A = this chain, B = another copy of it.
Amino acid sequence: MSERTASGDSGRATIRDVAAQAGVSVASVSRVLSGNYPVSEELRRRVMKVVQDLDYVTNAHARSLAGGGTPTVAILINNITGAAFTHVAKGVEGAASLRGWLSLVGTTGDDPERELALVNLMRQQGVAAVILLGGAYDYDEYQLRMARFARSLDAAGSHLVLVGRPPLEGDVPATTVDYDNEGGAYAMASHLLSAGHRRVLVLPGHAELTTAQGRLNGARRAFEAYGVPFDPKLVLHGPYDYEHGYDAVEESLRLGLDFTAVLAGTDVVAAGAMQALRAGGLRVPEDVSIVGYDDIPLASQLTPQLTTVHVPYEEMGRVALRAVASRRETGTGRRKGGDGDHVVLGTHVVVRNSVQPPPVS
């Protein structure tokens, strides 16, 4: 009873405890556990027995200090409850755990200061990559911030991945996984236009948000392509939430604006808009058609089911992680300007039941 085992100890058992109790060297225990070196069967059995008895697990911190260790990716997200980015997170986490990687998660709450703090925190953790999710504000300063992040992480042997954000200009060591945001909006608006709608209430999102800008541009281009005048008075900016959808439509009805369809920047916004239309005594889609964007589960759970743009969020998450993994396997990855630094996934319209031709006046 002279040796100190884990039985009465305050902390956890160490590899030294295992080695002592099994009567072998520390090096041997390490080899048995990592299994990357020939070890006799007899020794393996003895060590494993003690490992079981002591319920020993290796200290991940020590392991990664010494070289090995399981890679970890950091997922940084504005708001963890947003359905769209939850799906990206699912894609990342799924692909990560498939490889035995770990996922750290942090929320920024749209606060650049907090974003910086988190990126630094993750850098301390020595993560394989920092994956930033969600649209970004303020295009000018954004480029500078991100470029700094990218270089900083790169210098520390990590890597920056931008998902659903605009790519970085110039020779910056970062990967972008994007979707055809503007194309989706173009297709969605075209769908409304070809159904005969001419006056469409557009709720693209915050004017400063890059995704909102893209969606607005796509819609505008569709109007041009159809030769339909685009009325700026029918564009209402605001946050991507239910309340904004409701309030915007309520206000529009109050003002007596003339429109036969609503092009919402998000499925959640569309849900709010739909509710407000009903509250105003209008039927969907008989009186007013409505479309969303994102294709989150909510879209198919509304009544009527929402015609929307499908964005492959989960796939984006998987692609992001795959990019990190392959870059890590192929050494430091292809240098500047190679393909694979900017992946753009396709979007497409999902037709459900929320669009009809406008009523004859």
| A105 in the interface (beta carbon within 8 A) | yes
- Inter-chain contacts of A298 with B (CB < 8 A): 298, 301
Q: How far is the CA of A303 from the CA of B69 in the complex (A)?
A: 51
- Inter-chain contacts of A105 with B (CB < 8 A): 75, 89, 93, 103-105
Q: Which of A52-60, A185-193, A207-215 contacts B (4 or more CB under 8 A)?
A: A52-60
| A156 in the interface (beta carbon within 8 A) | yes
Q: How far is the CB of A123 from chain B (nearest CB, A)?
A: 5
**Contact check: which of B11, B102, B121 meets A104 at CB < 8 Å?**
B102
Interface residues on A, range: 35 or more
Given contacts A107-B90, A107-B93, contact A11 B157 (CB under 8 A): yes
Q: Which residue of B lies closest to A278 (CB)?
A: B303
Q: Please state if B80 and A83 are interface contacts (CB–CB under 8 Å).
A: no
| A12 in the interface (beta carbon within 8 A) | yes
Q: Which of A129-137, A217-225, A266-274, A319-327 contacts B (4 or more CB under 8 A)?
A: A266-274
Q: Which residue of B lies closest to A158 (CB)?
A: B12
Q: Which residue of B lies closest to A125 (CB)?
A: B60
| A25 in the interface (beta carbon within 8 A) | no
Q: Which residue of B lies closest to A10 (CB)?
A: B157
Apart from A80-B86, A275-B303, what are 13 other A-B pairs with CB-CB below 8 Å? A11-B156, A12-B156, A57-B124, A57-B156, A60-B61, A60-B124, A61-B61, A61-B69, A61-B126, A62-B65, A83-B83, A268-B301, A272-B301
Q: How far is the CA of A277 from the CA of B234 in the complex (A)?
A: 35
